[in-house]
């Protein structure tokens, strides 16, 4: 039992990251209809930027904040330079364009940072903490705390601000939103920026755990997408829950079977979800954003 | 007469190669309630969607107080004072009544007087006040129609356009909704309403246009159209003229009108 708890403890940290990436998929998909395959790449950019900014001598807090801004700017660039000019084309074309963005960003990262993983010290030094018989690394606690903070911030944004409501309205009925002077192009920009910023946050809290490397965008993007699909692709909070579920499933499979299982679990869960329950495990929260 | 609030000249619109509007001329003057009546597929929805900026016109001009606004997108038309209550209401189902209304004033967001405007909508439609926290999707059809009108009013339009407000509503509710249009005119709102339900529309309109296969087939004051034999036959239903509201349903089918030139 304590072994199982340990797997859960090591899974929730990763899972929270998948969830944060998944939130971005949900936001962009709902507002624009696009599945953004560059989603994991914003995480990669922010993670690598954090390492470089810290190495350049910046104190930790500004380095991390600037790294998140860098990820968010990549989202702005995706919308303004790629999606917005191609807006007249079909959604499928736009989705394929995001694959192009992902490849381009990864190539750029390879040129800038090279192939070697980069390390970043945990935010707080010290031994793991004992929680109910399982050891939780201090960085995992950071990840969980930041994830909770992000969830609260998103809830506040979508439930309490007019712009958040406008984004929901645009997701529910684009024509009706336009009739209220809500500009879908602007909502698209907001969606890409937010999604990239949330992925960026995930990137900087993750980097002390996994290190940062130029081709981490695809695996994290895939797992974020799986998390979003588990949540039914309609609810940011469903995506967060889906991420935690996926992270724990992965850790359990690795622990009981083999570390070679890690990648397979996400693919298997994604395939099963799309075939058996494409509406998500949490279908009743459809169209609810909180 | 004064300068028209809205003047439409030779407006054309098409879906691919299918012509939906083949040169529509119409005018709406400040303070009027103008109806566009016509059968299903006559082009009423296309006309209003084009005027609202949801569809680009294929030709013609749209003047708002003499200013050329042809082809402006919906986001801009709302700011210019043209609001549309779309066909089928299209309220934001997952959002509360209150949120729907606040989004109606999206381009004025942050302004201090929004709350007062919401209260004014509640005064016009008291049922919405009782349901302010309820999700719009849980409202009845008539309540949703009132919410859609209230949402459009939140933009403080000079011209309020309504597309088929009677659709799917019980006759009593239709009369209620139409009655509100008269109330709105008293408050200085100019109204352009497209209706298949000619009887309901003519009951409140000052003037009306009959739209047929993308063209204006007939135009005139309410009194004139109510007298027009072709309108009576095609849109009001012969039986309806004798038995009043009993044949409301029948009128909805509106067979094509064999033009008044005859």
Please give the interface size between A and B, counted as residue pairs whose CB atoms are below 8 Å apart. Answer: 71
Please list every residue in chain A whose beta carbon sits closer than 8 Å to the beta carbon of residue B75.
Answer: 178, 181-183
Mean pLDDT value of segment B145-166: 95
To the nearest whole Å, the CA of B154 is away from the closest chain A CA by 9
Q: Cβ of B74 and A178 within 8 Å?
A: yes
Helix or strand run (H / E) with residue B225: helix B222-227
pLDDT at position B248 over 90: no
The per-residue pLDDT for A179 is 97
Specify the fold of A2-284.
ABC transporter involved in vitamin B12 uptake, BtuC (1.10.3470)
User: Over chain A, what is the mean pLDDT?
Assistant: 92
Between B196 and B256, where is the model more confident? B196
pLDDT at position A263 over 50: yes
pLDDT at position A39 over 80: yes
Q: How far is CA A150 from CA A11, A21, A24, A156, A189, in A?
A: 19, 12, 12, 10, 19
Tally of CA atoms within 13 A in the half-sphere of B130 that contains its CB: 7
A125 touches chain B (CB under 8 A): no
> Would you place residue B252 in the very low, low, confident or very high pLDDT band (cuts 50, 70, 90)?
very low
**Of all residues in chain B, what percent carry a pLDDT higher than 70?**
90
The per-residue pLDDT for B240 is 46
Between A288 and A275, where is the model more confident? A275
> Would you place residue B261 in the very low, low, confident or very high pLDDT band (cuts 50, 70, 90)?
very low
Nearest-CB residue to B92 (from A163, A172, A183): A172
Q: Cβ of A179 and B84 within 8 Å?
A: yes
CA atoms of B207 and A3, how far apart (whole Å): 80
- What are the structural domains, with CATH classification, of chain B? 6-85+157-253 (3.40.50.300)
In this structure, of A73-82, A116-125, A276-285, the range with the lowest mean pLDDT score is A276-285
Mean pLDDT value of segment B23-50: 94
> Would you place residue B251 in the very low, low, confident or very high pLDDT band (cuts 50, 70, 90)?
very low
User: Over chain B, what is the mean pLDDT?
Assistant: 88
Give ipTM to 2 decimals: 0.87
pLDDT at position B241 over 50: no
B102 touches chain A (CB under 8 A): yes
Best A161, A173, A179, A184 member to test B by mutation, with max B CBs in 10 Å, is A179
The per-residue pLDDT for A283 is 59
Angle at which helix B171-186 crosses helix B114-124, to 10 degrees, equals 130
The per-residue pLDDT for A195 is 97
**Of all residues in chain A, what percent carry a pLDDT higher than 70?**
97
A168 touches chain B (CB under 8 A): yes
């Amino acid at each position: 039992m304590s072994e199982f708890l340990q797997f859960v403890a090591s899974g929730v940290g990763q899972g929270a990251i998948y969830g944060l990436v998944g939130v971005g998929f949900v936001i962009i998909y709902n507002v624009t209809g696009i599945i953004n395959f560059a989603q994991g790449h914003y995480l990669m950019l922010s993670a690598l930027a954090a390492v470089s900014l810290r190495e350049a001598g910046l104190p930790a807090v500004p380095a991390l904040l600037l790294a998140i801004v860098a990820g968010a700017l990549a989202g702005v660039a995706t919308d303004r330079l790629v999606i917005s000019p191609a807006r007249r084309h079909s959604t499928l074309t736009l989705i394929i364009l995001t694959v192009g963005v992902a490849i381009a960003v990864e190539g750029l990262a390879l040129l800038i940072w090279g192939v070697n993983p980069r390390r970043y010290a945990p935010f707080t030094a010290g031994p793991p903490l004992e929680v109910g018989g399982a050891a939780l690394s201090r960085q995992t606690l950071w990840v969980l705390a930041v994830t909770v903070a992000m969830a609260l911030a998103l809830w506040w944004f979508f439930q309490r601000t007019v712009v958040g409501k406008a984004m929901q309205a645009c997701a529910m009925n684009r024509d009706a939103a336009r009739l209220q002077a809500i500009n879908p192009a602007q909502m698209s920009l907001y969606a890409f920026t937010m999604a990239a910023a949330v992925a960026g946050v995930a990137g900087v809290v993750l980097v002390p755990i996994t290190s940062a490397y130029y081709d981490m965008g695809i695996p994290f993007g895939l797992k974020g997408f799986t998390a979003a699909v588990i949540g039914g692709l309609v609810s940011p909070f469903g995506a967060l829950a889906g991420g935690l579920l996926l992270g724990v499933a992965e850790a359990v499979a690795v622990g009981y079977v083999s570390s070679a299982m890690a990648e397979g679990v996400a693919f298997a869960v994604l395939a099963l979800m799309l075939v058996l329950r494409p509406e998500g495990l949490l279908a009743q929260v459809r169209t609810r954003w909180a | 007469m004064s300068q028209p609030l809205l003047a439409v000249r030779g407006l054309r619109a098409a879906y691919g190669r299918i012509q939906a509007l083949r040169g529509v001329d119409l005018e709406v003057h400040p303070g009027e309630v103008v109806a566009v009546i016509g059968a299903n597929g006559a082009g009423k929805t296309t006309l209003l969607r084009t005027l609202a900026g949801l569809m680009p016109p294929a030709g013609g001009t749209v003047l708002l107080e003499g200013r050329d606004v042809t082809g402006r997108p919906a986001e801009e038309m709302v700011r210019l004072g043209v609001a549309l209550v779309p066909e089928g209401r299209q309220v934001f189902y997952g959002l509360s009544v209150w949120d729907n209304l606040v989004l109606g004033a999206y381009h004025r967001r942050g302004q201090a007087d929004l709350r007062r405007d919401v209260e004014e909508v509640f005064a016009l439609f008291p049922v919405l006040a009782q349901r302010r926290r309820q999700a719009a999707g849980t409202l009845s059809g008539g309540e949703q129609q009132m919410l859609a009108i209230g949402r459009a009013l939140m933009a403080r339009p000079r011209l309020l356009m309504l597309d088929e407000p009677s659709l799917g509503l019980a006759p009593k509710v239709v009369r209620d909704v139409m009655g509100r249009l008269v109330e709105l005119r008293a408050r200085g709102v100019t109204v352009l309403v497209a209706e298949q339900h000619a009887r309901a529309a003519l009951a409140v309109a000052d003037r009306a246009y009959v739209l047929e296969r993308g063209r204006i087939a007939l135009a005139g004051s309410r009194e004139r159209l109510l007298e027009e034999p072709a309108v009576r036959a095609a849109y009001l239903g012969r039986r309806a003229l004798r038995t009043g509201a009993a044949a409301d349903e029948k009128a909805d089918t509106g067979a094509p009108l064999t033009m008044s030139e005859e």
